[in-house]
Structure formats: C-alpha cells, structure tokens
Structure 1
Amino acid sequence: MQWLIGWWRTVHLGALLVVLALTPSSYGAHNRREMARHIALGTGPALLGFTVLTTLISLVVIRIVLVTALSYGLSQYALEMVVRVLVLELIPLAAALFAALRCTIPNAAEIAALRARDGWDAWSPQGLQRLRSEVLPRMAASVFCALLMAAVSCVVTLVVAYLLVYGFTSAGFGAYTHTVGRVFSPAVALIFGLKIVFFGLTVALMPIASALDAAPRRLGRASAELQGLVRMFLVILLIEAASLVGNYY
C-alpha cells in the first residue's frame, strides 16, 4: 500500500507540474527570466560535452559495424543497422540519462534544499505558488535539456554516418536519404518522437516529484531521492520496451 501511495503521489505531483506548464499565467516576466536562466545553465554546459562524447562513440561504433558487415558481405545492411541501433535506440536513451544526471538530479537537490530551508508544502496554496516560481523553471530546463541533446546528437550521428560511408561527396546523398527514409517510416518516426518526448518528461518529472513528496516513509529504508531514481529508471525501461514493441512487432 505504501508503494502504491508513493507512486500515486509522484504521478499526482508530476501531473500538477504539467498542468502548470500548460497554464499561460505561469509564464509571467519573472518566470520567463528564471526559465531562460535555468535552461541556459542546465543545457549549455552539458550540450557540448554530450555531443562530443556521442560523436566519438558513434565514430567507433559505426566503423566497427561497417568493417564487420563488409567482412561478411553484408555491407548493404550496415547503414540501416547503424541508424536503427544508434539513432533510434541508444542515443535517445543516453541523452535522457545524461540529462537526468547533469540537470534534473541537481535541480531536484536544489528544490529539496529550498523546501528544507523555507518549510513550504507542495500541497498547500503557498506551495502551489512555489511550484510555479521555483519548480516549473527547473522542470522546463530539464525537459529542454533532454530533448535538445537527443535531437542534436541524432543529427550529428547521421552526418557522421554519411561521411564514414560516402566521404566528403554529395554522390551518395540520394541513396543515403533513401535508406534513412526507409528506416523512419511514418509509424517509426511517430514512435521515435513520442519516445524522446516521454523520456524528457520522465527524467524531468520523476526526481523532482519525488523530492517534492513529503509523505512519511517509516517502513522504507531508501530515501525519497533514491526512490525517485528507481521510479525514473523503471519508467524509462517501460518506455523503451514499448517503443521496441511498436517498432519491431
């Protein structure tokens, strides 16, 4: 029962934050400045490092796949496999986890420190105002960080794959776009977009909602932050499993 109540409170707080994010009154002048500041601080330093890291890993993985496929006479399938494995599956998952570690978890720690210092309750009228002024900008920054890192890294990986396969020439652009278009069918593109969005919402909402949850846990040994991370990883796993089912079954 305590486990179910914890999940319900986390989902409830997450839904409340989503409603606040969709409310026009939440975007006053002060909130817009705070949101822009948190987006710049959370996304700027992480974007460059993650892009460089994924580019280096993509270079190694693509090269290994190309050489292996050529040795077995399956070079015509190498590019499609690279796009499916890296762009569809690995990079969105890595971007979500990196955004959680770099942006969301520090934001959740800041929110927990603010609550401990000021003593406000997320369920009170004062807490609702603090959700709008303190929590919503940090949540928006976490979502933006996850989405932007996934989008930029996927584009960079597609460019790197083209250069490794065809080199610095436009001769293979038609065949390359045909292969990528065959992978990104309308159904796969829809699932891919929804997966990135749900990944961003999950890594942004779950740790922050757990930090806001003030329910007593006398019977549990794990802290609220640790339980929030466990729930986040579980939801990410479910989203990834659902996307695999949708893409390949």
Structure 2
Amino acid sequence: MAAVLSPIEASKQLAAYTAVDTHVLPEHKLIGIGSGSTVPYVVDRIVAQGPAVNRDRVFLATGFQSQQLIVHAGLRLGDIEQFPELDVTIDGADEVDADLNCIKGGGACHLREKVLAEAAKTFVVVADYRKNSQLLGTNYAPGVPIEVSPFAMTSLLRNLAALPLPPVAVLRMARAKAGPVVTDNGNFVVDAVFPDGEMRDPVALLHKIKLLTGVVEVGLFCGIVKAAYFGNQDGSVTVKKEGGEVSTIAAAP
C-alpha cells in the first residue's frame, strides 16, 4: 500500500512530475540531476518513463545525494568530462526571485550545480513554496553561499567587510563534526547576508563577489533558469517561466 503524502509533499511531487513531463522528453539522452527534497520525485518520474526510454540515457550528478539517487534507481551514471553538453538539468533551489534568479548552495554543492546548469540547453528548478519570492534574501535567511579556497578564507572575509555595502559573513561550520563544512571540491563555504539594496541587483552582486581573490564560485544563479516549479501548501503548483509568465496547476483531486 502506497504511503499517503502530506499536502506539501504531494505538491512537491506534482511540481517534480510536471517539470519532468514538460522538460525531460524521450529524445533527451543527457540529463543532469541536482539536489534537494524535491529531487527524489524527479528521479521517480524519470524512472516511470520506462526502461526502453532510459536505456540509452546518461545521468550526471551534482553531488552525493543525486549520485545515490541515480545509482539506486538503476540509471546510468556519467561524468561531465565525458559529457560536457547536456539536454536538460533539473535541480532544487534555496530561493528564486521574480526574474528566476536563484540562491543555491545550502547543501554546499553550488559549484557543481552551476557547472551542470550551464552545461544544459534547458535548466529547470523544482522547489516548494517557501523558495518562491519576489526578492532574493526575503525567504532564505542564511545569505549567499560563497565557495572559497581555504587558503584565502581569512582574506576573503576581510575583503567582504571592505565592500561599500558589506555583508554579515561567516564561515559555515559543520553540525556533526568539529570544524568547517568542506565541499566535494575540498573548499570552505562562507555565507554572506547582504543588505536589501545589494540583493535587488543579483547580477551585479554576483560579478562583484566573483572578482574577490580566492572565490571559487558564488551561489547566485542569474539568467540561466528557464522555468521554476513550486509546490504550494494547498497541493497546487506555481510555474514561473522565463519572460515573466506565471501560471498555476491545480492540486490533484
């Protein structure tokens, strides 16, 4: 007997299923899989497309979670060095604004997530209603994740503090070990909470941070999302598309 999903989980499932049905078509053979609580539903829906469709496909992972989902689903795991151009990548997000700019990196995978996002002809995000906002920084309190070389961490914090509108920036610490979070790439993560004035132009802020010495990648994804699917509390799904189109899919009866 199938487990009964809560309304929010049912909405996440509907959002993920709709994104896959719309954007992962039979002719798509190279597919990036991201991270987040909605991504297992993405993989479930892809598996449901059947072995005949998935037999010739290759799936690329942004991190440990997505790698395990791909392997456990019996799908073929590939590497970006082998397949640098993808048909579509579906990922989660920590927050998405009205222009489809995103904050990502809550799971410290934003370098690999951005590589797979930029490698794809179509990049789609799937999340729940808490990630849907008009302005970045409204719903996601921890700030902008910045992956930084450990050697440059102290100087980066000093350079961030010297900006005209400095953020409140802290080194992200691990919860189950003594010491900082270490990314899959062996780097540290600094979380920087910027004032609203900076968040109103995330493209300019992205460029400003990337120029700081020691920065490996910034968790601001600007100008690359084609569509975002949000599961709502009432079981419906809000769809935001490139160009400003917004629509709603009703909850399943």
- Normalised to the residue count of structure 1, the TM-score between the two structures is 0.19
TM-score by length of 2: 0.19
Structure number with higher helix proportion? 1
Relative contact order, higher structure (CA 8 A, sep 6+): 1
- Between Structure 1 and Structure 2, the one with more strand by share is 2
